Amino acid sequence: DDGYPAFSIHVDTDDPDAVFAQAAAAGATIVREISDSPYGTRGFVARDPEGLYWSFG
């Protein structure tokens, strides 16, 4: 067990910075800060109260 769930949910968004700001303001547990990937995408990962990981980008 490496501490990560067996699966996660990914949500595509046209404005990941706005979604990040909204999630952070709502008190979401941010697992990975918003950043640019080497693949040309931008996104972040948050964990919900049940422990499920959500990636947005």
Can you give the pLDDT at residue 4?
Answer: 66
Contacts for 33 with CB less than 8 Å, ≥ 6 apart:
44
Cα dihedral across residues 35, 46, 11, 13: positive or negative: negative
Residue 4 domain-assigned (yes or no): no
Residue 25, domain extent: 11-56
Look at the chain and report how many structural domains it folds into. 1
Residue 2 domain-assigned (yes or no): no
Q: What CATH number is attached to the domain comprising 22?
A: 3.30.720.110
Residue 5 domain-assigned (yes or no): no
Can you give the pLDDT at residue 2?
Answer: 60
**pLDDT tens for residues 25-39?**
998 999 999 999 999
Residue 43 domain-assigned (yes or no): yes
Per cent of the chain over pLDDT 70 is: 91
Q: pTM of the full predicted structure?
A: 0.84
**pLDDT tens for residues 7-18?**
789 999 999 999
Can you give the pLDDT at residue 52?
Answer: 87
Residue 17 domain-assigned (yes or no): yes
